[in-house]
Amino acid sequence: GESVGLHLPTLSVQEGDNSIINCAYSNSASDYFIWYKQESGKGPQFIIDIRSNMDKRQGQRVTVLLNKTVKHLSLQIAATQPGDSAVYFCAERAGGTSYGKLTFGQGTILTVHP
Amino acid sequence: ETGVTQTPRHLVMGMTNKKSLKCEQHLGHNAMYWYKQSAKKPLELMFVYSLEERVENNSVPSRFSPECPNSSHLFLHLHTLQPEDSALYLCASSPAASGRTGELFFGEGSRLTVL
């Protein structure tokens, strides 16, 4: 079925370490993927996105990797900071859909220790 | 500030009450959305409006009634809710109904508690 799920519900890291948050998806027709960050008491905020015709995309301190062979998506955060502590969601959009009809994963709680 | 404002931020209501959630976007977007966020569940899409026309209704119970009077405003009217409807209700907008990307701009949510 169509689902987006996360391997690990929680991740704890030390400040300065690199973080990797993983996501599995099952809909091979998905053509677009996006990562959101949600801090306590706030709505989700866009981090980075990637289209299915790419396998890697870099932003500021973040990198998204897409492996279509195994239907796996990951978010890498370099030099993680306490301000990165939040819940991270991956989301996918099925190919052929317009507007933002996204299917979200459950989320991973990232905790960064000083 | 995301450009999407939701009010009220917190709402407590009884099962027989009628209340409304309001969302306003200042981004010039053409599509607006209601999502429900419950504990330990993924975000659930409820409704989508594109150019003020409802284009998506994900089997949401009729006790939730959306309204989109113009492209900047979205309401969610609530009546005879159940305790299991307690959740964070998120409003979002996106640049175009048939945008090239799926990026959504979220508000901070309305935390609803049904007693």
CB contacts, 8 Å: A106 with chain B: 40-42
Say if CB B93 and CB B104 are below 8 A apart. yes
Find the CB nearest B48 among A36, A101, A107: A101
Q: How many alpha carbons lie under 13 Å from residue A49 in its C-beta half-sphere? A: 18
Predicted confidence at residue A90, as pLDDT, reads: 94
pLDDT tens track for A30-66:
889 999 999 988 999 999 999 999 999 999 999 999 9
Res. A70: pLDDT tops 70: yes
CB contacts, 8 Å: B101 with chain A: 32, 34, 49
Predicted confidence at residue A6, as pLDDT, reads: 41
Q: Compare B40 and A52 and report the one with higher pLDDT.
A: A52
SS3 state at B4:
strand
Interface test with A, best of B38, B89, B101, B111 (most A CBs within 10 A): B101
What is the layout of strands, in order, in the sheet containing B73-79? Answer: B4-7, B18-25, B73-79, B64-70
Q: Compare B64 and B51 and report the one with higher pLDDT.
A: B64
Interface test with A, best of B23, B45, B103 (most A CBs within 10 A): B103
Would you tell me which residues 53-72 of chain A have a C-beta closer than 8 angstroms to some C-beta of chain B? none
Say if CB A113 and CB A12 are below 8 A apart. yes
Residue A67 CB neighbours (<10 A): 11
Find the CB nearest A99 among B42, B97, B106: B97
Max mean pLDDT among A10-19, A95-104, B55-64 falls in: A10-19
pLDDT tens track for B60-91:
999 999 999 999 999 999 999 999 999 999 99
What is the average pLDDT score of chain B? 89
Find the CB nearest A93 among B40, B48, B102: B102
pLDDT band at A20 (very low <50, low <70, confident <90, very high): very high
Find the CB nearest A99 among B94, B105, B107: B94
Mean pLDDT (whole number) for B39-50: 86
Mean pLDDT (whole number) for B10-22: 93
Which strand (E) or helix (H) includes residue A51?
A: strand A45-51
